Chains A and B, each alone.
Chain A
Amino acid sequence: MKLVHSGKVRDLYELDGGDLLLVATDRVSVYDVALPTPVPDKGKLLTALSAWWFEQMADVVPNHVLSVDDVPEEFAGRAMRCKPLKMFPVECIARGYLTGLGLREYNRDGRVSGVELPTGLVDADRLPEPIFTPTTKLDTGTGHDEFITFDDVVNEVGADVAEQLRELTIDIYKRGAARALENGVIIADTKLEFGIAPDGTLTLADEVLTSDSSRFWRAEEWQPGREGGQRSYDKQFVRDWSVSTGWDKTPPGPEMPDDIVEATRQRYVEVYERITGLTWS
């Protein structure tokens, strides 16, 4: 087993034989800085939630998961054995609600990533239809990731694949958002990644509809236009806390006190239990 990449919160190993092992840690990263305090069980919770979603979406698109059980013991519960893919250099983002930088763009231009939207929308409003707003993950050397248009995606991967990526992203978002909403969770937006398997199959990869790759809100507290934004289930809670400390968003990040660690863990547990209907133990 060979470590081939270490991210802020996940590590990637290449196993003998060529399979990949995607390992989720208990680290939390905000503003592109890994905080020094881990959140117990975060890696296991995200792995379990992602594995559950992969199963739910298996009839929509094949995925890269080979096993969540056949993994080295030291990573048990927080790792997935995956097929190696050739990844598309596009992050496929679906948004069903208007908030964050999208809201800022809308207030300025009346559009988000080139998509015209109705007038009069406010923060956290539901969009008439989910929109596909891809972004590049190639490092352009500027330190900034760029939104790209659908035509850019066509140029990058070809028209057929681009259309498939758009349709699959919206389909997965719609199905996931509907399922989560039944259980009291709004998925405001999410990011998906796809690749091509050695046999040429377009394949869903990465992690799916988790608190790290999505924006989650409590449905019962959803209130468009609310002062201070929506109460979030995702790591926005940690972002907000980190800013409240006066931290300047550069390394090293602040140590999280015990109550913030526990409140963060509780959010991860609650979102897992609500969405899946399973009990975390």
Chain B
Amino acid sequence: MDAEKQSYNPIHLTHEVYLLLEEKGLPVKREGNLNAAIDGASEILRWLGLEPVIPRDMDSYRYVDMDHRSYNRRIHGD
């Protein structure tokens, strides 16, 4: 966690919840709409007084554009 900004990455929170429940022996799976789960994790963080922040640089240099956003917007007009 970034103590100065009081923020936390909700994607990490979903993963940590998965690990926690798995540790407890619950039959957890990763299915369905992960974005909805991340929205939920963001709500939990807000409820806890933290700002949910997904670092922008995760979308640029190290990782691919997972949603083809530029292509869809510029070529298909999305």
Contact = CB atoms under 8 A, between A and B. Distances in A.
A158 interface: no
Given A12-B63, A100-B75, A135 B35 contact: no
Interface in A1-20: 2-12
A93 B72 CA distance: 11
Interface residues of B, number: 32
A84 B66 CA distance: 14
A206 interface: yes
A93 B71 contact: yes
B44 interface: no
B34 A11 contact: yes
Given A29-B67, A145-B70, A191-B75, A4 B58 contact: yes
A5 B66 CA distance: 8
Contacts of A34: 33, 35
B73 interface: yes
Interface size class of A (residues with CB under 8 A): 35 or more
B60 A30 contact: no
Contacts of B12: 2-3
Given A6-B34, A8-B35, A34-B33, A101 B74 contact: yes
B63 A91 contact: no
B24 interface: no
A41 interface: no
Interface of B: 11-12, 14-15, 29-30, 33-35, 38, 56, 58-78
9 A-B pairs with least C-beta separation: A7-B66, A145-B70, A191-B71, A206-B64, A3-B15, A7-B67, A8-B67, A135-B70, A6-B34
Interface of A: 2-12, 22, 25, 27, 29-32, 34, 36, 74, 84-87, 89, 91, 93, 95, 100-102, 135-139, 144-145, 147, 189, 191, 193, 195, 205-206, 212-213, 215, 236, 239
